[in-house]
Amino acid sequence: MDDDLPPDLDRLRTLETWADLYLTRIRTRIAAVERQQARPPQQAPAPTAVPPSRPAAGPRPARPPDWGLAEAGIGVSVTEIHRGDCWASGKKLLPVTAERARAELAGGARACDACRPDRVLHGRDRP
């Protein structure tokens, strides 16, 4: 006897049922592929001049702000300035203008080490 099969009848019957269902799925897929291969190849439809319409899925997600302020709190020793799309900004980012971000940096706020907003805000680097 095979060692990889269970020894009891209940589990063997369960495996038999599963194998039968799976074999039926495989045979159905084989038949569909054979039918598809038996058909003559069809040409792809010509592209249309009308762009596809946008699905009506409700409002778009809000655009991230250009700059943000992460307030000091648990795990954050000082206020940090981030770019709006920074992955390290945390969940609560207060949107601020570029002028406010510059003022906060001048006032002692820390620039994020990941997105380096100080370089962009002070003109030393362009995004």
* Per-residue confidence in pLDDT tens, the chain, 127 aa: 558 889 999 999 999 999 999 999 999 999 999 998 998 877 766 666 666 666 666 677 777 778 888 876 666 667 888 888 888 777 778 888 889 889 888 888 888 888 888 888 877 554 4
| Structural domain boundaries enclosing 27 | 7-38
Rounded to two decimals, the pTM is: 0.46
Indicate whether 71 and 117 sit together in one domain. yes
Q: How far is CA 91 from CA 11, 12, 36, 84, 123, in A?
A: 49, 51, 50, 11, 27
Q: Distance (Å, rounded) from C-alpha 82 to C-alpha 64?
A: 11
In a domain, 58, yes or no: no
Q: Distance (Å, rounded) from C-alpha 96 to C-alpha 72?
A: 16
Across-strand partners of 73? 76
What ranges make up the beta strands (E) of the chain?
Answer: 67-70, 80-83, 94-96, 110-111
In a domain, 50, yes or no: no
Beta-carbon contacts of 70 under 8 Å, excluding residues fewer than 6 positions away, are 76, 79, 80, 81, 82, 89, 90, 92, 93, 94, 112
In a domain, 62, yes or no: no
Domains identified in the chain, total number: 2
Q: Residue 127: what pLDDT?
A: 43
In a domain, 92, yes or no: yes
Indicate whether 33 and 79 sit together in one domain. no
Q: How far is CA 54 from CA 50, 59, 62, 73, 106, in A?
A: 12, 12, 17, 41, 44
In a domain, 117, yes or no: yes
Q: Residue 56: what pLDDT?
A: 62
Each residue's pLDDT tens digit, 102-121: 988 888 888 888 888 888 88
In a domain, 1, yes or no: no
Q: In this structure, what token pair is assigned to residue 21?
A: 């269902």
